[in-house]
Each structure stands twice: as structure tokens, then as C-alpha cells.
């Protein structure tokens, strides 16, 4: 799953001094957790119907986008001519069925739910509000994110993404580990019975303790706003009052 891939990639980025791009990996990891929670919460037949429909829809959309850019001759050379030609009809047919499912499940969009809607439905607002916003800052054009690259005072200003390398590394590692642990908790009932032991439970509890010991890493830092940070406080658990 993406959780394992994200953790592995984060480790490699850290080793090579590229932690400043690690936050990009949080978006797919967070959305995977939110989607799994949602699909397990709704009726199984409806979840399976959505998955069956979105696969051909994704293929049709990809074929149409690629064909419009490359042209029919290139699609023919790739062996994708028929897929490209059939894409409009395939997309229309799938959307017809998806619109019925969307109406039944009260999705906010015509053919699919929004990530925010899924987060609200699964009590996963923290992952959406923080991680989707934080990762978007590193993917989309953001003047404030660009200004963070300029660091220093007066004539001693340097511009580099690596100024925030340690910060983004800590942010990505803490949140990716958090997502991994909570996804494990949501799926523990699917593990083979022989693995569902007291030892496994003890390991999970230790993972939870590790997550809380790390504490939350904020999107903003006081240093970049020229603010004096307060004395370090004890890490706070999610949802715990200040």
C-alpha cells in the first residue's frame, strides 16, 4: 500500500538530504486512509460497485487525455487506438451508473464524493484540514511557500528549498507514521487470525506511544514569522485540550 511506499521513500529522501519534498507523499497516504475508512463504512455492495466503475472510468479518461495530446497515429503505434476511440462512449456509460450511485450516497459532486465529504463522514477532518492543505502548498503555486526559500537578514539572504529540509522532514515523518499506525488499527480485523495475538497488540500499543511521543509538527513555524517561540511544551495527543 501507499503507506509502506511513502515511509520507504521518506527514508530515502532523508538519507539524501531531500526532506524538503517529503510532504508531497502525505497527500496520497492521507487520502488512502480516508477512502479506506469510507469504503468500509458504507454498504459493501455499494463500495464494490464504486471500485468496479472507477477503474474503466480512469482508463477512459487517461486514453482520452493521452490521445488528444499524442494524436491518433501515435495511439495506433502504442496499440491504444481502439481504447482511445471507445473512450467517450465508455466514459459516458460509466458516468451514467456513477451518477445513480452518487445520488444514492448523497455525494456532493455528480460522479464522486469530495475528499472533504469523506473526511467529515469518517471523522478524519484532521487529516484533511492539515495534510491536504500542507501538501498542496508544496505541489501547487504558492507565493508564501516560495518566500520561505529566502532565509536570512539584510544582505545575507540565501534562497534554497533546503532551508526547510529538517522541518519538512520532521513534518512528513511524524504524520506519515501517524497515518500508518491508524490505518493498521482500522484494518487489524482483516489480519490472519494467527497474527491477531497479544504480542501484536503490544506492538501496536508501542506504535501508538511512539506517535504521541513525537507530537504534532505545525504547518507554520514561529521563526519564519519572526516570532519568539514559547518554551517547549509536552507533546499533546490529537483532540486533547490545550
Instruction: Give one DSSP letter per residue of the chain, joined into a string.
Output: -HHHHHHHHHHHHHHTT-GGGGGGGHHHHHHHHHHHHHHHHS-HHHHHHHHHHHHHHHHHHHHHHHHHHH-HHHHHHTT-HHHHHHHHHHHHHHHHHHHHHHHHHT-SSSSS--HHHHHHHTT-HHIIIIIIHHHHHHHS--HHHHHTTEESSTT--EE-GGGGHHHHHHHHHHHHHHHHHHHHHHHGGGS-GGG-SHHHHHHHHHHHHHHHHH----SS-TGGGT-PPPPPPPP--TT---
- Cell numbers for 237, please give them: 495527543
**Res 215: pLDDT:** 65
Distance of alpha carbon 28 from alpha carbon 131, whole angstroms: 10
In sequence order, the 6+-apart residues with CB closer than 8 A to the CB of 102 are: 109, 110, 111, 112, 113
Structural domain includes residue 156: yes
**Res 233: pLDDT:** 52
Which residue positions in the chain have pLDDT lower than 50?
235, 237-239, 241-242
Structural domain includes residue 63: no
Structural domain includes residue 230: no
> Which of 2, 53, 1, 57 minimizes the C-alpha distance to 24?
2
Degrees (nearest 5) of the Cα angle 24, 28, 31? 130
Full domain range(s) for residue 144: 2-41+113-225
**Res 104: pLDDT:** 93
Structural domain includes residue 17: yes
**Res 212: pLDDT:** 58
Structural domain includes residue 160: yes
- Please count the CA atoms within 13 angstroms of the CA of 156 that sit on its side-chain side: 2
Structural domain includes residue 59: no
**Res 238: pLDDT:** 47
- State the total domains in the chain: 1
Structural domain includes residue 54: no
- Cell numbers for 202, please give them: 503490544
Structural domain includes residue 22: yes
Count of residues in the chain: 242
Distance of alpha carbon 80 from alpha carbon 65, whole angstroms: 12
Q: What is the CA radius of gyration of the chain?
A: 22
Amino acid at each position: 500500500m501507499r503507506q509502506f511506499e511513502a515511509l520507504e521513500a521518506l527514508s530515502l529522501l532523508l538519507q539524501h538530504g531531500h526532506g524538503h519534498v517529503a510532504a508531497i507523499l502525505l497527500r496520497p497516504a492521507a487520502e488512502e486512509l480516508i477512502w479506506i475508512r469510507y469504503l468500509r463504512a458504507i454498504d459493501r455492495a455499494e463500495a464494490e460497485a464504486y471500485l468496479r466503475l472507477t477503474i474503466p472510468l480512469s482508463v477512459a479518461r487517461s486514453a482520452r487525455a493521452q490521445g488528444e495530446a499524442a494524436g491518433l497515429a501515435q495511439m495506433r503505434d502504442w496499440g491504444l487506438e481502439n481504447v482511445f476511440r471507445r473512450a467517450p462512449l465508455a466514459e459516458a456509460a460509466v458516468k451514467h451508473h456513477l451518477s445513480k450511485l452518487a445520488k444514492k450516497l448523497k455525494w456532493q459532486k455528480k460522479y464522486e464524493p469530495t475528499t472533504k465529504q469523506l473526511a467529515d463522514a469518517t471523522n478524519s477532518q484532521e487529516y484533511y484540514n492539515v495534510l491536504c492543505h500542507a501538501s498542496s502548498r508544496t505541489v501547487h503555486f504558492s507565493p508564501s511557500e516560495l518566500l520561505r526559500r529566502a532565509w536570512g537578514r539584510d544582505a545575507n539572504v540565501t534562497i534554497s528549498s533546503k532551508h526547510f529540509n529538517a522541518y519538512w522532514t520532521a513534518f512528513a515523518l511524524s504524520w506519515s507514521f501517524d497515518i500508518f499506525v491508524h490505518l493498521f488499527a482500522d484494518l487489524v480485523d482483516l489480519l490472519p487470525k494467527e497474527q491477531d495475538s497479544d504480542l501484536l497488540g503490544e506492538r501496536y500499543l508501542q506504535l501508538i506511544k511512539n506517535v504521541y511521543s513525537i507530537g504534532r509538527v505545525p504547518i507554520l513555524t514561529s521563526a519564519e514569522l519572526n516570532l519568539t517561540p514559547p518554551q517547549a511544551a509536552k507533546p499533546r495527543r490529537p483532540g486533547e485540550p490545550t
